[in-house]
Amino acid sequence: MADIAAAILSDGRLQVWVIDKDGRLHSRYERAGAKLEWTPWSPFEQPGQGQVPLVSLVATPSEDKNLQLFALDRNGERWATCKTTADSHSPWKPWSKFS
């Protein structure tokens, strides 16, 4: 495992991301209404179409509770994505370079 990050979703559940040994990003989150019951690990969209392995990441909610994720790839490129709204079930925006 290269790196791990976690953040609290707007409904109070925890979401966790991990970069595996190959630089691929995976995620899981707590099931609704069930403390410490988790979804299975699943692939999470990679920045840059996944062409460059990731080495580091951090997750944080913004002031309006919209979850944000920042990643660094092996080439030193910085990337960012966030939920489309503060709703825990909203989709993620496409990754963009963060300079």
The full DSSP string for 7-68 is EE-TTS-EEEEEE-TTS-EEEEEBPTT-TT-BPPPEE-PPGGGG-S-EEEEEEEE-TTS-EE
The parent domain of residue 87 ranges over 3-97
The total number of structural domains in the chain stands at 1
Residue 49, C-beta contacts closer than 8 angstroms, at least 6 positions apart? none
pTM: 0.90
Strand 25-29, strand 96-97: pairing: unpaired
pLDDT score for 1:
57
Q: Which residue has the tokens 């069930």?
A: 34
Token readout for 71 is 């990643």
Query: What's the pLDDT band for 50 if we cut at 50, 70, 90?
Result: confident
pLDDT above 60: residue 11:
yes
